[in-house]
Amino acid sequence: MRLVVDLTRCQAYAQCVFLAPEMFELHGEEALLYRQEVPDEQLERVRQAAAACPVQAIPVGEAVSARAR
């Protein structure tokens, strides 16, 4: 799966960094860096990070839900 974060919505609350540190990282205080390719073992963490995002900047669709089962 390929991950895309809407960086125009991201407010650097960093919930994703806490939930999926292998996938997300804060650079400085406000710049979010993330891996675009999601390994199968990280799907559940990415799904949790997306759900925890206060501004819903991490859209995940059926591809994540179906593969995380």
pLDDT one-digit tens code per residue, 18-61: 999 999 999 988 899 999 999 999 999 999 999 999 999 999 86
For the cut 80, the answer to whether the pLDDT of residue 64 exceeds it is: no
Residue 25 domain-assigned (yes or no): yes
Burial class (CB in 10 A: 0-12, 13-18, 19+), 20: buried
56 lies in which domain range? 15-68
For the cut 60, the answer to whether the pLDDT of residue 4 exceeds it is: yes
The H or E element that residue 26 is part of is strand 24-27
Give how many domains the chain has, as a whole number.
1
- pLDDT score, position 31: 92
Residue 9 domain-assigned (yes or no): no
Q: How far is the C-alpha of 69 from the C-alpha of 13, rounded, in Å?
A: 27
